[in-house]
Amino acid sequence: MSSNCQFCGHAHLTPTTTRYIHQQGDELLIVEEVPCLRCDDCGEEYFDVSTLKKIEADHLALATHRKRPARTLEVAVETFSAL
Ligand SMILES: [Zn+2]
């Protein structure tokens, strides 16, 4: 990973964890506590390719029922023009 923010150019990125929402067609997967680097200035988050590949593989395993998720959530869905 680069040590400078590619979004704003700020030099300091802090290692932390975040919630990552992965989308595959209409299916969403929420992964908690994903390691990332977060820009101290603009908040942009950067992930290792290996981290993203792991999430993709997990989503595929869930979508093909080779595995069950740790838990599921009911989420609200809205269409912007109806707000
Ligand atoms: Zn930044």
The 10s digit of each residue's pLDDT in 55-69 is: 999 999 999 999 999
Q: Say how many Å lie between the CA of residue 21 and the centre of ligand 1.
A: 20
Q: Which CATH number belongs to the domain containing residue 71 in this structure?
A: 3.10.20
Centre of ligand 1 to C-alpha 67, Å, is 36
Q: How far is CA 73 from the centre of its chain?
A: 16
Q: How many domains does the chain have?
A: 1
Residue 44: phi and psi, rounded to 5, are: -60, 140
Q: Please indicate, yes or no, if residue 4 is contained in any of the structural domains.
A: no
Residue 32, domain member (yes or no):
yes
Q: Note the pLDDT tens digit of each residue in 8-53.
A: 999 999 999 999 999 999 899 999 999 999 999 999 999 999 999 9
Residue 3 lies in a domain: no
CA atoms of 35 and 1, how far apart (whole Å)? 12
Examine residue 69 and state whether it is found in any structural domain, yes or no.
Answer: yes
Tell me the whole-structure pTM to 2 decimals: 0.85
Q: 4 C-alpha to center of ligand 1: Å?
A: 8
